[in-house]
Chain A
Amino acid sequence: MTMTRRLLVAPLLALSALAQAAPITLKDDRGATVTLPGVPQRVVSLLPSLTETVCELGDCAKLVGVDRFSNFPERAQKLPKLGGLEDTAVEALAALKPDVVLLGVSARIIDRLESLGLKVIALEPKRMADVQRVIGTLGQVLDRPDDARRLWNRIDGHITQSAATLPPAARGLTVYYEVDSAPYAAGAASFMGEILTRLGARNIVPPELGPFPKLNPEFIVRADPQVIMVGQRSAPGLPQRPGWAALRAVKNQRLCVWVPAESDVLVRPGPRMSEAAALMARCLRQAAAGPVPLPTDAFTAPPGGMR
């Protein structure tokens, strides 16, 4: 670079630096105080729900790298994949020179990244209230507080709307939401459970049991739910489990089986929560009307997704 060009560029740089110079200080979900020198321009997200939130806030273009599970929106699929929370590719991540790295509280990599001088914001969206808080925090980080407020209001409004459009017969149905065939359930204390509650469904797993308890299968048989929601991966063997053929949901074919793309939406506590509510509302509406049709496509989910 010649001297004259450098002279020309320098004031421009100074100007742009001035424009974003206001440092942002905030507390993340670890309780750590993080100070960013300005609004980050290069963002890495290692959690699908955070990726989706950043994009919903309109800053998808700022993302330079994501974890391997971030597959939405489409733009995220083209970004460099940096592994998961347990096996993050540190070198590839550092090479991207992000201004901030967004990840979950349980990420092993936090200390390593901070020792490399990177700014790390750990966020833990678990329940609905967390999602609201996380959206707010990201609004702060990206300097879009108004968009963040609007986004949350939109999600909240859509959920209310899904609930309002349900016919009376679809309200008050007892539901067992299976997360995994062990069997782990999504209890009323999970965010899936919270959505169900807002839709007027009665979760057979009370909040005292925690968000995702491993249940005695007998508990489910005794509760005899009217509707079962389950991912397509666990669905095939379900009616064959000891005693399950007699369940109302199985006998009357009130099994809502989520295809992988739907499971993606349902397991992520992020901006697509309103879509999750719409899916569950669809299930309840169908269950109230008659047997719920099973997915017509065979289960295909390339390994590596989180469903």
Chain B
Amino acid sequence: MNLGTQGRAALLLTATAGLFALGLSIGSTGWSPLTAADDSLRQILWDIRAPRTVGAWLAGALLALAGAIGQGLFRNPLADPYLLGSSAGASLGLAVMLFFVGISPASTALALRVGMTGSAFIGSVAAVMLTLALARGVEQTLRLLLAGVIVGVVLGSGTALLTLINLDVMRTMQSFMLGSTGFLGWNSVLVLCAALAVAGPMALGCSRGLDALSLGEATARTLGVRLTLLRLLLIAAMSLSTAAAVAQCGLVAFVGLVAPHLVRSWGSVTHGALLLLAPLTGGTLLLTADVAARWIIAPQELPVGTVTALLGGSYLLWLMHRRGLPLGRRR
């Protein structure tokens, strides 16, 4: 199967359309199709299922976009959206916010004003800033990666500490860390849409630079790529899309890592195509996971992050053994 980029995009969009219909038909009782809608169900469809379905897709797309950017920028197939500390920052932001709830009326009011999504978003962006500061800019890839790891570990331990001394929030923190699409409303969809509208074109605009970069830094420079600017733009796009997705859905695992690999497994692509196809794949993957998470043990829910890991991981493993991905191929 070696379709062109357009063919693949068309396939993914068809799958997405099918999943949208499925997403609207799967609720707390399992299968409850659109056609059987009475008034109360119509409201549930519009207020809950529709934004949840669209939001899950958008969040998956954003994570996959961030993953594709990361893998291209760092020329590392293991890069994922959380590489520069985004996830650790988001968790810490949330943990700090929850910590301030209840200390005093003023701090409670402030914390509730910032809100869960706000604090996670701020934390996520701040963590990337911290990583950039620690790496003293974006000139050295290795330094960036190391700083990202350090920020991740340090902020992670801060989160653990705050959670441990404030055990009431344990369950909230846990469901955040496992990812959750349950409370996506139309506001969330708007935010996710805006992030994708900004980050997507930014990344696509840099795709030629990424292609050049895949030949090595020196070559890219001789080809006239302004590396510092490229990196800054791409890191901005990556951290914006990650922060938006993570703030709305929690730390959904694996979508960002696996979606670009899936795209590559269908045939080699330029970065322009990858940055277009990976979000479509990521959206499809997270939406599939969301539908499965609410269907399998309805009316209870599985944490969506565990489903993405299971789905994406097993599919990638299957592909790896069947076709010999570049990752596993003997050189």
With A182-B175, A242-B51, A300-B104 already in contact, the answer to whether A214 and B43 are too (CB < 8 A) is no
Contacts of A305 in B (CB 8 A): 168
Contacts of B172 in A (CB 8 A): 180-182
Give the CA-CA distance A243 to B183 in the complex, in Å. Answer: 10
Query: How many chain B residues touch A (Cβ–Cβ < 8 Å)?
Result: 42
Q: Is the CB of B102 within 8 A of A183?
A: no
Contacts of B312 in A (CB 8 A): none
Q: Is the CB of B112 within 8 A of A236?
A: yes
Q: Is A91 an interface residue (CB 8 A)?
A: no
Contacts of A222 in B (CB 8 A): 27-29, 40, 44
Query: How many chain A residues touch B (Cβ–Cβ < 8 Å)?
Result: 40
Q: Is the CB of A216 within 8 A of B300?
A: yes
If over half of A's interface residues share one DSSP class (helix, strand or loop), that class is named, otherwise mixed; here it is loop
Q: Is the CB of B51 within 8 A of A214?
A: no
Q: Contact partner of B43 among A87, A210, A243, CB < 8 A?
A: A243
Q: Is the CB of B168 within 8 A of A218?
A: no
How does the 8 Å CB contact mask read for B91-108 relative to A, with 1 for contact and 0 for none? Answer: 000000001011111001
Q: Is the CB of A209 within 8 A of B112?
A: no
User: Whole-angstrom distance from the CB of A101 to the nearest CB of chain B?
Assistant: 20
Give the CA-CA distance A182 to B169 in the complex, in Å. Answer: 11
Contacts of B182 in A (CB 8 A): 182-183, 216-217
With A222-B44, A242-B51 already in contact, the answer to whether A300 and B168 are too (CB < 8 A) is no
Contacts of A210 in B (CB 8 A): 300
Q: Is B215 an interface residue (CB 8 A)?
A: no
Contacts of A213 in B (CB 8 A): 299-300
Q: Is B180 an interface residue (CB 8 A)?
A: yes
User: Whole-angstrom distance from the CB of A85 to the nearest CB of chain B?
Assistant: 10
Residue of B49, B109, B299 contacting most chain A CB atoms (<10 Å): B299
Q: Is the CB of A303 within 8 A of B99?
A: yes
Contacts of A182 in B (CB 8 A): 171-172, 175, 180, 182
Identify the closest chain B residue to A263 (Cβ). B168
Q: Is A112 an interface residue (CB 8 A)?
A: no
Q: Is B327 an interface residue (CB 8 A)?
A: no
Q: Is A155 an interface residue (CB 8 A)?
A: no
Q: Is the CB of B301 within 8 A of A214?
A: yes
Q: Is B261 an interface residue (CB 8 A)?
A: no
Contacts of A246 in B (CB 8 A): 43, 47
Q: Is the CB of A298 within 8 A of B28?
A: no
Give the CA-CA distance A306 to B171 in the complex, in Å. Answer: 12
Contacts of A299 in B (CB 8 A): 101-102, 105, 108
Give the CA-CA distance A168 to B224 in the complex, in Å. Answer: 82
B34-89 with Cβ < 8 A to chain A: 40, 43-44, 47-49, 51-52
Q: Is the CB of B47 within 8 A of A242?
A: yes
Q: Is the CB of A233 within 8 A of B101?
A: yes
Q: Is B271 an interface residue (CB 8 A)?
A: no
Q: Is A40 an interface residue (CB 8 A)?
A: no
18 contacts between A and B (CB under 8 A): A86-B164, A184-B171, A209-B300, A214-B175, A214-B300, A216-B182, A216-B294, A217-B48, A221-B47, A222-B29, A233-B102, A237-B112, A243-B43, A243-B185, A298-B108, A299-B102, A299-B105, A301-B102
Residues of A within 8 A of B (CB): 69, 84, 86-87, 179-184, 209-210, 213-219, 221-222, 224, 233, 236-237, 241-243, 246, 260, 298-307
